[in-house]
Amino acid sequence: MKNASFLLMLVVTLFAAAVFADDADIAERKAAYDQLNNTEHKAIISVHNDTIAVQLDDADGQFNIGKWVGSTTLTYAYPSAPWSSWTCFVIDGTHYSNDFGGFPDPSGSSTLAGGAVAHPFTIIPHSGDSSYIYGGWTQSGLDIYQTLMPVYIEHDTFIDAFIFIKYNVTNTSAVSHTLGIILQLDTMIDWNDAAELATIWGYSGIEEDWVYDSMPPWWFAYRDYPVPPTGTITAMGILDGFDAVRPNRFAVGSWPSFNSFGTWTYTVSGAPYGDSSVLYWWGIDTLAPGDTMVAATYYGIGHPFIEGDFSLVVDDVDVANCVYTPNPFNFFAMFTNSSAMVMDSVMIHLDLPAGLVSISGATDTILTGGEHLGSFASGVMSWDIEIVTPPASDSIRVWVTSTSVDDTFEAWYVLSIPLIGMPPQGSLIEPTNLAWTTCDNQEILLDFTSENGMSDDDITFALNGTLIDLTDPHLSWEGDTLLRYTPSPVWSDGDTVGWSLVAAVDAVGCSLIAPVYGEFFVDLTPPVAENEWPEDGQVLGTTDIPLIWVELYDILREVDPASILFTINGTIYDITDSELEYRNDSLFFDPVDAGMVFEDGDTVCISIDSVTDVAPDYCDVNEMDSYEWCFYFNIIDIWMPDTQLCPPGDTFDIPVYCEDITGLGITQLDITVRVIGSILEPVGINTAGTVTAPWALSFGGTENTVHITGSGTELTGGGVLFYLRFYVPTSGSEGAYSPLEFVDATFNSGALSSKPIDGFATVCFTTHLWTNDILFFVGEQNRKVLTFGCTPTATDGYNPGLDIQYIPTPAGRVDGWFDIDDPLYPVIDKLNRDIRAPEPVPIVWTGYAGCPGVGEVEVLWSPGHFPDGEVTLYYTDDGVDYVIDMRHNDRCSFTDEIDFVIVYDQPEIGRVEMVVCPGWNLISFPFIANVGVTIPDAVPTSITPGYWFNNETRTYEIVYNAEPGKGYWVYCTEPDTFLVAGMLVDYAELNVGRGWNLVGTPWESSGTIPVSDMEVVPDVLIGSNIWGWDGCGAGAYFAPTDLAVGQGYWVLCSGTGLLSIEGDSTVTKVMPVFEPGWVLEMQLGDMPFAIGIDNRAAEGLDDYDRAV
């Protein structure tokens, strides 16, 4: 690589660009020829380095230049084939050009070597920057060689890339010849063929030239005008310096002119130019036989440079009696302009290190002779410099600036001033002031220097008030730089060590500049863990422990929370986990946040590992040994049984059981149980023979809760904890239920909790003496009353004194009777009053009622006259089967006449689990609930009664007692899963009207009923308009495929009708059985037959007929 070190100078003069009228024509002609030139079969060879490339036509030696990366043009029209730049050799007055065609050759020139290349152009490998192209011609007895080589030139901070263009011409003939060389370069920077040209004197917007003595050192070609943007390409040609041979003449100007007329005698026009070019002229020289002429230049991508040299003369400085002499001393500087240009206003600057000042001579001033410093001229300056303090540096910087250049020239002078040794001085290395160390052998280290030397007794060091010097074996001065104190014996935990370097005097009497002192602390013990909760070995009676904690602290400093590893039952947590928190010298673990659920009988073991104090300033942390403990859970099992209470009207003791609680230390209890107070009336506690027999228990509560508290000696044993005593009222309780739900059950003021299992109480049915009238009427004057009921003295047959025989009714009047078939009284087949025995159930009455031809017959009865149980009326009217709950309804109607069945039953008491969520819930009850159990009783978290939508009034009705077949809205405050109970019904029936109807489901053991099982007669159900409410999910309506038992639904109908939903077929359902008024029984073989007569029978197949 060819290298040079030089400084940057750029002088810019701006000229307006001129565009020739024929530029467009020239450009078109060049482009056309360039296209033609590229289509010709030419052999183009090229070489390059990483930055710049040159390519050559090996037929004529013409070349062009460009950037290697991106193929950016520097001479026309790289990377196309070269043709527009040429070289001309003037031999003995004749011009020979290697431009063998195309645009006109230089005026009067001949074809070089007859158009033949005598020395073929070849790529010569080279181990430096790159390979190069070498070859040439023979003309008139002269061997002409052309070299094209990519090179780098390094200067300042730049590494510039050029093509080194060189011509070696040797006279191989026997006679002398005159020789001149002309080089024409067609400049084109990137896309700009009219690249602006400049020299050190600025832009040349016109054709102009320079001769040898006024030759600028370099020239430039710019893509952009007038100021090249940062990062754009600038081409540079070097006219002098390095291996360039200064031309005798150099011109910038118009390519059309230079290309056509650039002969040895060319005269520059001084006119503006467009398409730009440069011309070099070397010679004319006379070459004797064997002589060689060299012409060389550089062209590529570069930066301008200038040079200058310094001469510095400085007085020698010595030391005497601890002072410098001479002081001040003289500093003389001479600067020589080594550039090929004049520098104006050359100013010299002096930078002195701290401690030196100039007492005569300005440090920024014009050099003597520096106003206009010619090429290789010199200017001088002199200063008297005083040493105020030993200089901070041994170097003095001198630098020169000029208004002619942008950069600076500088020189450094290294002082040779003997040091007056610095006075003794010290600085602390370790331990730093107020530092903590965990090393018992912590040393005290000072950076201590005394350039003039010390003796052992010249240092005074104080340790906790005791003075020592270098005669003490624990204090040493090592390598003339390190003062060390090594403790013996070692430090103790909790020590506070104070020390100071009090005084020091060196060999020339210089004293310690300033005392050095400090203090540090010694910590040799790790953190401490204690007072954990729950304590080690503790038995907990509750799994509700929101936090586990342990005191964790360091006596002298602080615990490093990041070091803590907390292990609980094998799971490791660190302080980055949200479950673990360190605050106020305690460690807290949140098992709830960790998702831990502790169970009865669990053992929990914890260890705290790797705990250290915070990192000390010196040595390692103190690490605590593992701290471990375990605790245990024993939750008290407590439960109440499922209980059936018989008969109502009595008092019952319901036990509260517990596991064996020996050893748990129970001395106090607090238990609350929820019941339905209208069914179970709390009356007291019975402790006889129970675990709590020695105690005095307190009894209280609200309408629906029982609250028991008590205390005493430690309880032992297990079994019945105590009995709760309830009274079951006679009225309204049969077939009813009450939950026995533990609301709360704690021991020892909440320290021990329980695992309660709720109980459930149902009330059985009993027998009753009762009667009720059923009235059939058309208007006020046309009516018929029938009476039915039960008494223990009655039978299922005819009971004289209790039953009343039927009396025929005149025609046109409402008629009715109960059917009876008593072999003891064969002539009596109808009754106006029919009293039955109360057992066994179900009890079935069949009968007839009607007034044919009058239309609607209304029916009334008194629901309050029925006993607890289920009373159901069945009949068929106009093809529709009706099922009427007579305990919850008091009327119905039919058309003309009916056969009816009345059934009294004490059905099975069933239980259903129901789920509600906060907010509105749409529910139903698949059973007949006793009137003693209201909707708020049944739904514990409800704050409302039931709301049922009445289709007839288009309003919501407030409902407390639920009916099967209806759906109810209830609003709950909390989620809950609970049991409800009642007399199960497998068949729900509801009159529906036009619009929306709110319906419920009957009982079904599978829990769901297909939507398709819902029937409406007549068929007024608008399909796909059945909607449920997802109160526990999306909080939105949904279209069900199955009806869930216990849920309510909206049903849209187009008119009135009777909706029915059939549930579980395993539940007994009583249907009407009709017998004719007169029957004749016969037998043919083994087959019995019967014929009969009844005025209610039809001519065809009806309910009185039986299939064979």
**Separation of alpha carbons 901 and 868, rounded Å:** 19
User: 1010 pLDDT band (50/70/90 cuts)?
Assistant: very high
* Count, residues in the chain: 1108
Contact 839, 904 (CB under 8 A): no
pLDDT of residue 414: 87
Q: State whether CATH 2.60.40.10 applies to domain 309-414.
A: yes
Q: Which of 405-414, 654-663, 724-733, 1077-1086 has the lowest mean pLDDT?
A: 1077-1086
Gap between the terminal Cα atoms of the chain: 126
Please give the helix or strand (H or E) that residue 629 lies within, else none: strand 627-633
Q: Which pTM was predicted?
A: 0.47
Q: Which of 6-20, 650-664, 1048-1062 has the lowest mean pLDDT?
A: 6-20
pLDDT of residue 1065: 45
pLDDT of residue 1099: 57
CATH architecture of 23-301: Distorted Sandwich (2.70)
Mean pLDDT over 590-609 rounds to 94
Higher pLDDT, 189 or 1064: 189
User: 40 pLDDT band (50/70/90 cuts)?
Assistant: low
Please give the helix or strand (H or E) that residue 256 lies within, else none: helix 255-261
Mean pLDDT over 1080-1093 rounds to 64
Domain residue limits, the chain: 23-301, 309-414, 425-522, 528-633, 636-763, 770-905, 909-1062, 1074-1108
**Separation of alpha carbons 732 and 868, rounded Å:** 7
Q: Which CATH number among 1.10.3210.10, 2.60.120.580, 3.40.630.10, 2.60.40.10 corresponds to the domain 425-522?
A: 2.60.40.10
Extended beta strands in 985-1020, E state: 987-992, 995-1000, 1008-1010, 1014-1017
**Per-residue pLDDT tens digits for 68-107:** 988 899 999 899 999 999 999 999 999 999 987 655 567 7
Q: Which bin fits 480, alpha (ψ -120 to 50), beta or left (φ > 0)? A: left
**Per-residue pLDDT tens digits for 185-221:** 999 999 999 999 988 777 788 999 999 988 888 899 9
DSSP strand pairing (830-836 vs 804-805)? antiparallel
> What proportion of the chain, given as a percentage, has pLDDT over 70?
90
Residue 692 has pLDDT above 60, yes or no: yes
pLDDT of residue 264: 92
pLDDT of residue 375: 58
Residue 175 has pLDDT above 70, yes or no: yes
Among candidate residues 459, 509, 507, 457, the one with its CA nearest the CA of residue 484? 459
Contact 964, 926 (CB under 8 A): yes
Could you check whether 23-301 and 636-763 share the same CATH topology? no
Rounded to the nearest 10 degrees, how much is the dihedral formed by the CA atoms of 597, 603, 609, 612? 70
User: 1031 pLDDT band (50/70/90 cuts)?
Assistant: very high
CATH architecture of 528-633: Sandwich (2.60)
pLDDT of residue 1076: 58
User: 1074 pLDDT band (50/70/90 cuts)?
Assistant: very low
Q: State whether CATH 2.60.40.680 applies to domain 636-763.
A: yes
**Per-residue pLDDT tens digits for 120-137:** 999 999 876 679 999 999
Higher pLDDT, 679 or 437: 437
Residue 78 burial (CB < 10 Å; 0-12/13-18/19+)? buried
**Per-residue pLDDT tens digits for 923-979:** 999 887 777 789 998 899 999 999 999 999 999 999 998 988 999 999 999 999 988
229-233 contact pairs (CB < 8 A, 24+): 233/67, 233/72, 233/74, 233/189, 233/190, 233/301
Higher pLDDT, 726 or 693: 726
Mean pLDDT over 237-263 rounds to 91
**Per-residue pLDDT tens digits for 883-909:** 898 988 899 999 999 999 999 998 878
**Separation of alpha carbons 505 and 503, rounded Å:** 7
φ, ψ for residue 859, nearest 5 deg: -130, 135
User: 226 pLDDT band (50/70/90 cuts)?
Assistant: low
**Separation of alpha carbons 471 and 457, rounded Å:** 7
CB atoms within 10 A of CB 235: 28
**Per-residue pLDDT tens digits for 513-531:** 899 999 999 999 999 999 9
The mean pLDDT value of the chain amounts to 87
User: 432 pLDDT band (50/70/90 cuts)?
Assistant: very high
Q: What is the DSSP string of 711-762?
A: E-SPP---EEEEEEEEE--STT-TT-EEEEEEEEEEETTTTEEEEEE-EEEE
Mean pLDDT over 382-398 rounds to 87
**Separation of alpha carbons 455 and 447, rounded Å:** 17
SS3 content of the chain, % helix, strand, coil (to 5): 5, 50, 45
